[in-house]
């Protein structure tokens, strides 16, 4: 399900990444993702998160996205370039990821014009704020408001980049039901995609003081042969959890706390929405403009 992308498009798209860009050498150890995290998570002792005044698990704070280059390619891969290190797949189910690809096409990444949407925005750092009947996700230059008061979804005709989210609490887990996505963006820069009929279920579970286990399942019988799931940890910013020099990642991230208050914030980044010169430049490089995946 990858798309063939020129380096130029990836560089343009990198402007909208919500994490600081790192540069990697060819001998960088493979970053652990779903396979390693699922094994580590199984060894964690039971954990009950602190409660908000309303009695629900407290997920508030600033949380990093997963390490590595999921925004570039969520499937397992070896070293690609200085911005895309080798890494395991973000996909935990099916265990071996997708069995094949849809072919090679040459399209521009929608993120080059800030069209990110679900679930790509969660790859980056996010601030979580909770009120009595809402969970609010703040991400660099976007946000999501998730009602948790039991209200119904909007009509099926309401389609947006982030869709229509409705949350509920199941014990320690915030379960978010997402409908109404417009299917007009990608999951990553490699061109892995979903469509306007895709249904998503997110599960946010705080499994230790500084770690949230994040899972998202996508189902769409018009596109996929079966539902599939991504799984990765989101770790509290400023706890030293983002480093991965040895190719492994600790389940606990309570050491190496960074006392710089700015290390614990989600930084706003500039974007290039409305820059029509970008479209012309992408096309001049030989890219076809993004064609939304529709049945």
Domain that holds residue 220: 7-284
Q: How far apart are CA 224 and CA 217, in angstroms?
A: 12
Q: What pLDDT score does 77 carry?
A: 80
DSSP-derived secondary structure letter, 152: P
233: nearest Cα among 247, 258, 250:
250
Sheet holding 142-147, edge to edge: 61-63, 126-131, 134-139, 142-147
Is 293 inside any structural domain?
no
Domain count, the chain: 1
Q: Does the residue 235 lie in any domain?
A: yes
> Which residue in the block uniquely carries the two structure tokens 């600081």?
20
Q: Which residues pair with 165 in a beta bridge?
A: 178
Low-confidence ranges of the chain (pLDDT < 70): 1-22, 67-71, 96-108, 239-270, 272-276, 278-279, 282, 286-295
d(CA 264, CA 262) in angstroms, rounded, equals 5
Question: Three-state DSSP class for 209?
Answer: coil
User: Which residue do the tokens 């005044």 mark?
Assistant: 53
Kindly state whether residue 1 falls inside one of the protein's structural domains. no
Q: Is residue 2 part of a domain?
A: no
Within 10 angstroms of residue 176's Cβ, the number of other Cβ atoms is 22
Say whether 207 sits in a helix, a strand or coil.
Answer: strand
Q: Is residue 292 part of a domain?
A: no
Name, in order, each residue with C-beta under 8 angstroms of 262's C-beta and a sequence gap of 6 or more: none
The answer to whether residue 290 is domain-embedded is no
**Does the bond joining 56 to the residue before it have cis omega, within 30 degrees of 0?**
no
SS3 state at 143:
strand
- For residue 8, give both structure tokens: 């130029």
pTM for this predicted structure:
0.79
Q: Which of 159, 158, 163, 256 is nearest to 201 (CA)?
A: 163
Structural domain contains residue 289: no
Q: Which residue has the tokens 């929405």?
A: 273
In a domain, 105, yes or no: yes
Which pair of tokens denotes residue 157?
């005709």
**Predicted local distance difference test score (pLDDT) of residue 100:** 45
The angle subtended at Cα 273 by Cα 271 and Cα 277, nearest 5°, is 110
Alpha-helical segments (H) within the chain = 7-13, 34-42, 276-284
Beta strands 173-179 and 199-208: pairing type?
Answer: antiparallel
Q: pLDDT digit string (tens) for 34-74?
A: 889 999 999 999 999 999 999 999 999 999 877 655 567 77
Which distant-in-sequence residues (6+ apart) come within 8 Å of 110 by Cβ? 116, 184, 185, 186, 290
**33, burial (CB in 10 Å: exposed 0-12, middle 13-18, buried 19+):** buried
């Amino acid at each position: 399900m990858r798309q063939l992308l020129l380096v130029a498009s990836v560089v343009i798209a990198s402007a909208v990444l919500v994490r600081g860009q790192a540069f990697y050498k060819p001998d960088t150890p493979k970053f652990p993702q779903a396979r390693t995290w699922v094994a580590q998570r199984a060894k964690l002792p039971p954990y009950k998160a602190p409660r908000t005044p309303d009695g629900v698990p407290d997920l508030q704070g600033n949380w990093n996205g997963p390490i590595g280059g999921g925004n570039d390619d969520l499937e397992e891969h070896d070293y690609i370039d200085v911005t895309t290190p080798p890494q395991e797949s973000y996909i935990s189910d099916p265990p071996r990821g997708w069995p094949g690809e849809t072919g090679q096409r040459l399209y521009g990444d929608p993120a080059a014009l800030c069209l990110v949407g679900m679930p790509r925005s969660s790859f980056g750092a996010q601030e979580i704020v909770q009120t009595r009947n809402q969970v609010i996700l703040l991400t660099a230059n976007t946000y999501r408001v998730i009602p948790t008061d039991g209200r119904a979804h909007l009509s099926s005709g309401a389609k947006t980049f982030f869709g229509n989210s409705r949350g509920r609490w199941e014990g320690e887990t915030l379960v978010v039901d997402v409908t109404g996505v417009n299917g007009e963006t990608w999951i990553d820069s490699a061109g892995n995609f979903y469509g306007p009929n895709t249904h998503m279920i997110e599960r946010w579970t705080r499994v230790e003081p500084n770690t949230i286990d994040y899972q998202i399942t996508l189902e769409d019988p018009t596109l996929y042969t079966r539902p599939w799931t991504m799984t990765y940890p989101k770790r509290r910013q400023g706890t030293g959890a983002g480093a991965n020099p040895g190719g492994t990642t600790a389940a606990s991230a309570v050491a190496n706390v960074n006392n710089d208050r700015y290390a614990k914030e989600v930084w706003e980044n500039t974007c290039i929405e409305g820059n029509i010169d970008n479209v012309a430049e992408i096309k001049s490089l030989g890219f076809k403009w993004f064609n939304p995946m529709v049945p």
